[in-house]
Structure formats: C-alpha cells, structure tokens
Structure 1
Amino acid sequence: MSKDIRIKKGLNINLVGAAELTTSKAVLSNVYALNLEDFHGIMPKMLVKEGAEVKAGEPLFYNKNIEEMLFVSPVSGELVEIVRGARRRILTLKILADKTQETLSHKPIAVENASKEEIKSYLLMGGCWPFIKQRPYDVVADPDTTPKSIFISGYATAPLAADLNYVLEGKEAELQAAITALGKLTPGKVHVSVGTSGGSPLAQLNGIELHKVSGPHPAGLVGTQINKIDPINKGELVWTVSPQDLVITGELLLTGKFNAERIVALAGSSVKTPKYYTTKIGAEISTFLYASGVNEEKFRVINGDVLTGSQSSQDGHLGFYNNTVTAIPEGDDYEFFGWNKPVFNKISGTRALTFSWLNPKKKYDLDTNTNGEHRAFVVTGQYEEVFPLDIYPMQLLKACMVKDLDEMEQLGLYEVAPEDFSLTEFICISKQPHQKIIREGLDLLQKEIG
C-alpha cells in the first residue's frame, strides 16, 4: 500500500528539447575523468601514481578521514594525469581507457544472509559507498553512523530531467538487491517515491515504504519528500541514493563487479535530436553531444539539469552523480528596454509584464541570460510560493549570509541541500546565488557544530 504526497507549492519549467525515449550507444571515450568537486568535503589520499595501470573498479584514492572509503576507477587504463590546483589540491583524475576493458572482480555477496557490517564493508571495498549521501550537510555518508531512514526519489520533476521509469526499465533485479542491502543499514524504513502515473520499476520492489508523489517541481526532489515524510531534527541523520546509482550498487552485489555504465539523457533546445545514450561515468561529453548535432554556434553545456547542474566545456566529462546533460543557447546578448515591455517568451514567477501564467503548459526556448544583475535582496514573498518545505527560505538565506549559527539551526538548515533552493534561485529578482549561499552555510555548520 502506498502513501500519497501531494505538493501544491512549486513551479514547472517546461522547456523545449526533452529527450526522446530512444537509446543509442555513445562512442567510446578515449579519456575518462573523475572530478573531485563531485565529492564535496572529501580529502583524497592517492593509492596509485600517475602512469599506473588500473582496472575498472580498482581503487584510485581513499578518504583521508575515513580510510576504508574507497573511490574506484570507472574504466581500465592508464592514469595519465592528476590535475592539481592551489596547494597541490587534487582537482581531477584522468584515465586513458584501454581498448579491451578489464574489471576487478570481487566474490559476490549473498545479500539476504549478509549482516549489516558485511554489507557495509562490501560497499566500501567495491567503490559504491560514495553513491550514498547523507543529510544534514549533503555529503557522502559516514559509514560509522546509522541513519533513521533512507530515501530514494524515483520521480524526476526538474526541467528536461531523465525519465527514470525509462532508464530503469529491466533493472529490477539490481534494484531489489540494492534495496535489500540498504534496508540492513538502517533500523528505520527505506522510503521510495514514484509518480502517480505508474510504470516505475521501483514500485514493485520488496522491503520499501512506497509513496506516490504528485505536484509541480520540486516535488521530485528528495529534500521535499524528506520534509513531508520524515523531517530531520538536530542530531538525526537520513541517507539518500539516486535510482541509477542503485543499479550500479545492485550489480556490484550480484556480480562482484563495479559497472560504471549509465543511461544519460542528452536534452536542451541546442541539441538537434535530443535522446538517451548509454555511456559511463566520467566519459567525454563530446562522445554523445555531437552525435546528436547542435543547432547553435554559441551554446552552454550543463553537466546535469538546468537548475542544479554545473557549467561544462564541450569536451568536459560526465559528472559522477549525473544522468542528464543539457545544452541551451548562451544568453550573452541584451534586450533594449527588455525590462519595460511585455514579455511572452519567458517564464516568470510574477505577473508584472509577463504572461507565462496564462499558458502553464507552453514550452519555452530559454537561454542562460539572467535578465538582470546582482542586487540586494528584495522582500516579495515569491520564494514562499514555490518553496514547499516548512521552512522560511528568505530568513534562512539571510542567516547563512551573516553566519548566524543559532538562526541557521532554528530555521531548518539541517533539512536542506543546495538543490532545494534551485527554484527560488531561478525566480529570484535579486539574482542572488541561493545554492552557493546554502552550500557555504552547510559547510560552516558542519565545521562549527559537526
């Protein structure tokens, strides 16, 4: 029996360029890369040197603070470059892939009979532990802690996000193995959310608490679901895992091999034929971007969706957690008197000279132009209209900006992640970087309070 969650506050951003439900195999990438920025807060300690030969699934580095937490190679090949920044901080690892792939094999584990500690050790050893994130702080989970519950969102509402029902089709065995294993890591429930339209492979799994979610974005964000199902209080932990990462985890448990394969949605109005591609974590984006063709000379590649993804070069690499790559026109032009005339081709949270509210189902071809410059916060009440969490968004943002730890705690910073503020950032007439403000607030809270 499922429990329904209906979200009323939010905003659907309908964009041109959704990926067609067809999948092609991407051209094999020559070089794969792991970007250390994907593992926020991790202090890496290298296990192999530049020039070393590695197998797929072989550890490259470990977390200096938790030595048993290993991070593995997505492919076999030569570690050709360790890109470093200031103070020799490791930024990126680049691996030149072998033509014939070799994978490090572990003995498969009997998930049903395994203990909590055996499951935990196996995931740490096999390189799948980094897929488990924790709240508060939105970082890789500490294996020495125990969450009160685990959340998985199988309902994607972000603009042009990958259709999870489609990409998970036929992966029921892997999903079930991962769910069974995760269920042994918490004394609470494994909460799985799906859309009300049905068809999700996640809905048929055993050992879950199923929730059917409906409503506009951000109904599909796991933070929204945590807030409505099992809110986080001070001193409590919950873990989250994305559905496609469940597939990789389940395959490791069943076969003993780390398979970094991912089905990625290539979307956006700058793509001629947006569709799905089978590739691997860390692959060069150009291996599937140009296979679909591009419409403009000047466009921006976003590693992720348009609200939470990061800007990437066209020869960049697929992020560790991403299953969407978006390409939209670069908004580097300015409209003469654009602030003082009716607007019919943009989405806005206000009704001042804009008319998107008259046709909520219309699809828009938006570019990256912010349509304004950074300015002081203006109290409009707009954030509250699209922010479904039981939190005061404006007050929390200001508490983070002035580094008021007591206010940050009392206003609910433990519950949120930067992505929960992606929609308020989109509609912000003050052009404030909400996600950056929340990230800095979380880092400060973790450093000072832990």
Structure 2
Amino acid sequence: MSQDIQIKKGLDIKLKGAAEKVTEKAKSSNVYTLIPEDFHNIIPKLSVKVGAKLKAGDTVFFSKANEAVKFPSPVSGELVDIIRGEKRKILAIKIQADNQQEFVDFGSKDPKAMKADEVKDYLLNAGCWPFVKQRPYDVIANPKMEPKAIFISAYASAPLAADYDYVLAGKEKELQVAVTALSKLTPGEVHVSVGKNSNSPFSGLDNISLHKVSGPHPIGNVSTQIAKIDPINKGEVVWTIKPQDLVIIGELLLTGKFNAERIIALSGSSVKEPKYYTTKIGADISSIVEGKLNEVESRIISGNVLTGSNEGKKGILRYYDNEITVIPEGNDYEFFGWTKFVFNKVSLTRALTFSWLFPNKKYNLNTNTNGEHRAFVLTGNYEEVFPLDIYPMQILKSCMYSDLEEMENLGMYEVAPEDFALTEFVCVSKQPHQEIIRKGLDLMLKEIG
C-alpha cells in the first residue's frame, strides 16, 4: 500500500552539470583504498598484514568493539600499504588489485528459507553489515539490537545526485532478494520511498511498504521520511540502508560473491561530459576523472556538494558514495560584493538577490562561502529549509554547550549530520552545522549509548 509524503519546506539547489543517462566503464584502478574514518565510531583491528594476498570479500579489518562486524576487501589483490597517523591510528589501507579478480565463495542463499539469525550471521560473515546503519546516532547498526522498522530512500533530491531509477534499472531481482532478507530482521515494515512520478524498480517488489514522495530537498533524506512515516522515540531503533548497497547484498545472496561494483554519477559544471561510470568502492578518483575535466581550478568531491568530502585527484571514492561532483574552486573575491545586485547565486532572501524570480534556473556555483564565520544571527532562514518538527538553531546550540537533556528533548534521536546540510548552506554566520551535530551525536552515544 502506497502512502504519499509531501513537504513544502526545503530548497532545491539547481546546478549545471547533471549526469547524462549514459553509462561507461571507468578505467580500472590499480589500487583500492579502505578508509576506517568512513565507518564512524569504529575502531579498526587488522586481520591481515602488509603483503597478504586477498580475495574480494576477505576480511581486512573488524570492529574492536564487536569482532563480528567485518570489513571486506572490495577486490582481490595484495595488501601493499597501511597508512597510520598519530598514535598509530589507521588512516588508510591500500590494496593493489589483481588483473584477474577472484572472489570468496560465501554460498548462495534463499532468504525465504532463512531465519532472522541466519540472515544476520550471513551478512556479518560476508562483510555486508557495514551497509546497515542505525538511527539514532547515524552509525553502523548494532547487530544485537532489533529495529522497529527498516527504511530505504530510493529517491535522491540532493544537488546533482545520481538518479536511482536509472542506476538500479534491471536490478529488480537483486533488490527483491535483498529486501526479503532484510524483512526477516525486523518485526515491523521495510519502508521504501520513491519519487512520486518515478518509474522505480522498487514499485513491483514484495515485502516492502512503498511510499511516494515529493517536494524540495531534503525530501530524499531518510530522516525526513522517517519523521513522516514512523518517528523515532527514545529507546527505539530503526535501521537504514542505501539502494545501491541493496544490490551488493542481493548479488551476494544470489551468487555467494561480494561484488563491490557500483554505478556512480560524475557530474558538475567542471566536467566536460557528465555521465555515469561503472567502478568499485575505494577506487582512485583519478581513474574516473582523468581527462574528463575542464581546464579550470576545481574541487573534486566524493559525494554531493552539500555533504561530500573534498578529495582532489589523489583521493578515492568513499565507501558510501555513489557520485563524484566537480565544481569550480572559489578562490576569488568580489570587490564590494555585498553591495551589488546578485543574479548568479542562490539565496533565500530577496535583499539584492533575484534567484527567487527564476525557480528553474540552473547555476554554476563555486565553493566560495560568501561570508565569514561569526556568532549565530537570528534570520529565520533555518526554519524555511528544515522540514522536521524540530527547532534547528536551538538543537545546534544545545550541541555546542553539550546539554544532553536538552538535546534529547529537542529531538536529537531523529537527526543525522546530513539533515543540517541545507541550514549550513543558508547560514549567514557560516557555522559548521554538520560538524556540530556530529559532535553532539558522538557525545550522546558515549554518555547515553
């Protein structure tokens, strides 16, 4: 049964450089990299040493707090380097790929015949558990807990985001097997949200509760959907998973192989021909963008422009990302920029700006912040782009002065850093909202658990 969800608060940032719906195979990367920092709140413990020969799916490291949570190699090859930082903290693990890929055989399974514990043990053993994240705290799910529901957002509303309907086309079999397996892990529903007018591969699947969503960004954020469908109360847990990770889980169940391949969007105004590419998790970004960028100084982002990480050409495709965005680097300054009429920027206000007159215009924005860091200023802009029934400025301030009781009362259990990407974008004070929320969640996880 479908349940429509519509929001009015939010902001669509329309940028030039959307990926054309054409898919090519990216150049194979020589080295694939795992970055433990991608797995928040995980302290890695290595299970192999430099020089070890690995197959795709072999465990590279596991969580020190829970040894059952394993992190596999995306390719077969040789572990060639372990980069460490202060106090020997593991920063990156590099694997040189073989020309001919070999896979660990975990055995194919029929999820319909499996019990919940069997599904859980299978996903843990094969290294697919890191794809399952939990709310509250937006961390890898605790396999010892039972979620009241599982949420999957199959509609991406972020700027230049990959079109899930396109990248998942033809993957109905893998998706069905994956959601059937996940449905065994919760007494509640597996909620899937798709675009209102989309032709989604999820539309005809069983074992899901389908929801059609519409409205501006952040309607694609899973937090927005959770709040509208089944809000989180204190003591409750829900799990979330991204659609392309479902394909990996589904293929694992069908073939017994951990295949870290995914289709990503290479987009942005600094890309000559934005389109989709087939690559693997942890690939060098240079293998994807080389020869495909305009001759201007640009910022290469793994992820979208609101929540992604600045990687550069020497960076990697991060574990949970399915897009690489390239936009001009904003290292120029406008003389008396604050006094001029502005026609080429996005703004919520009508003071000397005119983006509100052209709602469908696409912009070539750069990375300039157009302002400097200062104390919070009361403008009311946050509330215009924040659709959750939460006071955004108050919850940000409670995180800054670490008032746990106030954070709880204001709804901290319902949010993740990505939910504050838009408030950060419109913030005239240039405060790092996502960083503030992440630190607040970490404090709650540590003190409350």
TM-score (structure 2 length as normaliser): 0.99
Contact 2:175/2:202 (<8 A) preserved: yes
- DSSP 3-state at the match of 1:68: coil
Paired position in structure 2 for 1:236: 236
- 1:182 corresponds to 2:182: yes
Instruction: Letter of the 2:418 partner, please give it.
Output: E
Instruction: Letter of the 1:294 partner, please give it.
Output: L
**Residue 295 of structure 1: CA displacement?**
1.4
Query: Separation in 1 of the partners of 2:315 and 2:21?
Result: 24
For residues 268-417 of structure 1, the aligned pairs below 5 Å read 268-291=268-291, 293-417=292-416
Instruction: Letter of the 1:181 partner, please give it.
Output: A
Paired position in structure 1 for 2:217: 217
- Runs (4+) off by over 2 Å: none
Contact 1:296/1:329 (<8 A) preserved: no
**Residue 297 of structure 1: CA displacement?**
3.0
Instruction: Letter of the 1:199 partner, please give it.
Output: N
Query: Separation in 2 of the partners of 1:202 and 1:38?
Result: 27
Paired position in structure 2 for 1:102: 102
Q: Percent identity?
A: 67
**Residue 352 of structure 1: CA displacement?**
1.1
- DSSP 3-state at the match of 1:112: helix
Q: Deviation string for 1:77-113 (max 9, x for gaps)?
A: 1111111111111111100111111111111112101
Instruction: Letter of the 1:342 partner, please give it.
Output: F
Query: Separation in 2 of the partners of 1:128 and 1:205?
Result: 22
Q: Deviation string for 1:181-220 (max 9, x for gaps)?
A: 0000000000000001121001111011110000000001
- 1:49 corresponds to 2:55: no
Instruction: Letter of the 2:432 partner, please give it.
Output: P
Paired position in structure 1 for 2:68: 68
Q: Deviation string for 1:53-82 (max 9, x for gaps)?
A: 111010001111111111000001111111
Query: Separation in 2 of the partners of 1:296 and 1:213?
Result: 39
Paired position in structure 1 for 2:435: 436
- DSSP 3-state at the match of 2:384: helix
Query: Separation in 2 of the partners of 1:11 and 1:91?
Result: 35
Contact 2:270/2:296 (<8 A) preserved: no
Query: Separation in 1 of the partners of 2:40 and 2:107?
Result: 30
Instruction: Letter of the 1:434 partner, please give it.
Output: H
Paired position in structure 2 for 1:267: 267
- DSSP 3-state at the match of 1:302: strand
Compute the RMSD of aligned alpha carbons: 0.7
Query: Separation in 2 of the partners of 1:6 and 1:297?
Result: 39
Contact 2:56/2:74 (<8 A) preserved: yes
- DSSP 3-state at the match of 2:356: helix
Query: Separation in 1 of the partners of 2:148 and 2:140?
Result: 16
Query: Separation in 2 of the partners of 1:137 and 1:296?
Result: 41
- DSSP 3-state at the match of 2:67: strand
Paired position in structure 1 for 2:257: 257
Instruction: Letter of the 1:160 partner, please give it.
Output: L
Instruction: Letter of the 1:154 partner, please give it.
Output: A
Query: Separation in 1 of the partners of 2:38 and 2:9?
Result: 30
**Residue 349 of structure 1: CA displacement?**
1.4
Query: Separation in 1 of the partners of 2:86 and 2:257?
Result: 35
- DSSP 3-state at the match of 1:176: helix
Contact 1:14/1:362 (<8 A) preserved: yes
Paired position in structure 2 for 1:143: 143
Query: Separation in 2 of the partners of 1:298 and 1:50?
Result: 36
- DSSP 3-state at the match of 1:263: strand
Instruction: Letter of the 2:148 partner, please give it.
Output: K
**Residue 296 of structure 1: CA displacement?**
3.2
Paired position in structure 1 for 2:203: 203
Q: Deviation string for 1:14-71 (max 9, x for gaps)?
A: 0000000000000110000011111000011100001111110100011111111110
Q: Deviation string for 1:283-331 (max 9, x for gaps)?
A: 111112124x211331000010000001002121111000010000000
Query: Separation in 2 of the partners of 1:203 and 1:384?
Result: 33
Contact 1:32/1:75 (<8 A) preserved: yes
Paired position in structure 2 for 1:13: 13
Query: Separation in 1 of the partners of 2:181 and 2:99?
Result: 34
Query: Separation in 2 of the partners of 1:202 and 1:83?
Result: 40
Query: Separation in 2 of the partners of 1:233 and 1:87?
Result: 38
Query: Separation in 1 of the partners of 2:114 and 2:192?
Result: 22
Q: Deviation string for 1:231-250 (max 9, x for gaps)?
A: 11110000000000000011
Query: Separation in 1 of the partners of 2:116 and 2:229?
Result: 25
Q: Deviation string for 1:218-272 (max 9, x for gaps)?
A: 0011010001111111100000000000000111111110000010000000000
Query: Separation in 1 of the partners of 2:78 and 2:28?
Result: 16
Structure 1 gaps, min length 5: none
Paired position in structure 2 for 1:153: 153
- DSSP 3-state at the match of 2:352: coil
Query: Separation in 1 of the partners of 2:438 and 2:288?
Result: 31
Instruction: Letter of the 1:355 partner, please give it.
Output: F
- 1:128 corresponds to 2:148: no
Query: Separation in 2 of the partners of 1:300 and 1:387?
Result: 27
Query: Separation in 1 of the partners of 2:24 and 2:88?
Result: 39
